[in-house]
Amino acid sequence: MEFKDIFDIVHANLRSKDVARGGEEMLRLRAHEKLQAFVEAGIATKNGRKYKGVPKMLQEFAKLVAEHNAKVAALKIACKGTTTQLPVTKAKAEKRKAVQAR
């Protein structure tokens, strides 16, 4: 497929989920960068203006993505109900408490 065809499909899917709001040119640039990264990693090949996925590499990539998603899901479950404060937020909260105590 040519990049324009791939981008049109991705953009249509994002619009249907109401995720693509403006910034079409930035989205196009990011998608092109990711596609080039796939080519560099050997997951896809480029012949002129056409791109084609390498089946074996796509399977390995899909496996890695599935493993990563499982790890992230496990972390979300493990961290559910806990909250963390960024140092800046924590410092602001302490400052507010000190001002209120006066």
Tens digits of residue pLDDT in 49-71: 899 999 999 999 999 999 999 99
**Segment 5-20 mean pLDDT:** 81
pLDDT tens per residue across span 17-52: 776 666 788 888 888 999 999 999 999 999 998 999
Distance CA 25, CA 49 (A): 19
Q: What pTM was estimated for this model as a whole?
A: 0.58
Distance CA 61, CA 53 (A): 11
Could you tell me which residues are beta bridge partners of residue 53? 44
Give the CA distances from residue 51 to residues 29, 58, 91, in Å, rounded to whole numbers and listed in that order: 16, 13, 51
Domain regions of the chain by residue span: 3-101
Q: Judge contact between 3 and 50, C-beta under 8 A.
A: no
Output the pLDDT for position 11: 83
Identify which has the larger pLDDT, 37 or 100.
37
Output the pLDDT for position 7: 84
